[in-house]
Amino acid sequence: MTLSKRTASSTHLRRLAAVAVAGAAGTAGLTAASGITTAASAACSDVDVVFARGSGELPGLGIVGTPLVSAIRADLPGRSVSAYAVNYAADLAQTSAGPGATDMSNHVRSVAAACPNTAFVLGGYSQGASVTDIAIGIPTLLGIGGTIPTSLAPRVKAVVVYGNPLRLYGQTINTASPLYGPKAKEFCNLGDPVCANGFDVTAHLTYPINGTVPQGARFAADRVKAGTSLTR
């Protein structure tokens, strides 16, 4: 992918950091209160949701990932759904997406090897969306890291991201990845500084309450139910 706006990258990174600080201050209480098991189950599950939280959030699935996993479970009755919170710093300096991608990729490799029938749903919020981008092989300005082997791509049934910084450079997962684009769903609120080049910090913080989490969950559940079908 060609990133034509490299000259503006420092401005965008400063803006991401500023939004991350606001997000950490405004949502820390909610994150801490979101109690959910985030380690992959010792027993193989039907579906493993692998999610990377946003900058400044406490370790775990975060304010978007927690309700997303709950909604996916509700939309897949009769199937076992495990969840893994990507283990990365989610630092405010926006430098940890690469290591996060490596952790996401390593987790998928490990579970795929141990559980041949487990399908995956990948996702991330804010810097966590960049983690997901890198893990599925899309270059970004937020670092480099390990990628999921293309041989495992058929087992990744859906990719759901929120506030993806990739959009600041005129790209989406759909346009940047022929392999994963057809099974990706991205949410970017109007005015969101992190994905829409806007100036409304609130727009970046309202994904958990604006209806896009249930939409993302339904998208993922439908792709899981459809198996290998990638019809949008």
Active centre residues (catalytic)? 126, 192, 204
**C-beta of residue 180 within 8 angstroms of C-beta of residue 188:** no
In whole angstroms, give the CA distance from residue 161 to residue 33. 22
> What's the rounded Cα separation, in Å, for the pair 23 and 80?
32
Query: Which of these, 147, 149, 195, 160, lies nearest to 64 by C-alpha position?
Result: 160
* Neighbour count for residue 200 (Cβ, 10 Å): 15
CB 96 within 8 A of CB 54: no
Q: Closest by alpha carbon to 160, among 115, 90, 224?
A: 224
Residue with tokens 């490299």: 6
> What are phi and psi for residue 145, nearest 5 degrees?
-165, -175
Q: Which residue's entry shows tokens 């290998």?
A: 228
Residue 31 and residue 57 in contact, taking contact as beta carbons nearer than 8 Å: yes
d(CA 3, CA 122): 24
Give me the residue label for tokens 């910090």. Answer: 201
